Amino acid sequence: MAREVLTDVTIVVVEDNQDFLFLVSEFLFRHGARVAECATLSVAIDCITRTLPDLVLTDITLPDGDGIQLLRTVQSLNLHSGTTTPVLAMSARCDIIMGSRVANAGFSAWLRKPFTPAQLLEAITTALRLDQGST
């Protein structure tokens, strides 16, 4: 069994592809995280407002908006709550325009799909400043 490096960490995963959402959520759960799954921007905003998670992992392209809108919402919530919630972006789109928009938006990291479980865990532990140890 994998070392539970994400114990006591709450992560909101925002992804409209149900299979991918399940895989990512299961991986995070196996590493000890509490995971809230959201398939749309509106559900994610409601969930983040209620739970104030430690980290948000979001797809850039969502059915009712995009990950940049979600990032702006989290940044606004951070200002009001005095917290700092890292937001990591995921996207299969790797064109120059999308890359520039994501890079300039202020995400803590950008994971290009497909990414490996090790890349995901490294991005999360880096954003949260956790010691990954051996996995």
Domain 10-115 fold is Rossmann fold (3.40.50)
Cα–Cα distance between 55 and 13 in angstroms, integer? Answer: 9
**pLDDT tens across 20-68, in order?**
999 999 999 999 999 999 999 999 999 999 999 999 999 999 999 999 9
Q: With bands split at pLDDT 50, 70 and 90, how would you rate the model's confidence at 10?
A: very high
Residue 17 corresponds to which amino acid? Answer: N
Enter the pTM of the model. Answer: 0.91
CA distances (Å), origin 18, targets 2, 51, 113, 124, 129: 24, 22, 15, 21, 29
The pLDDT of residue 134 is 44
**Helix, strand, coil shares, percent, the chain, to 5:** 45, 20, 35
Q: Residue 135 above 50 pLDDT?
A: no
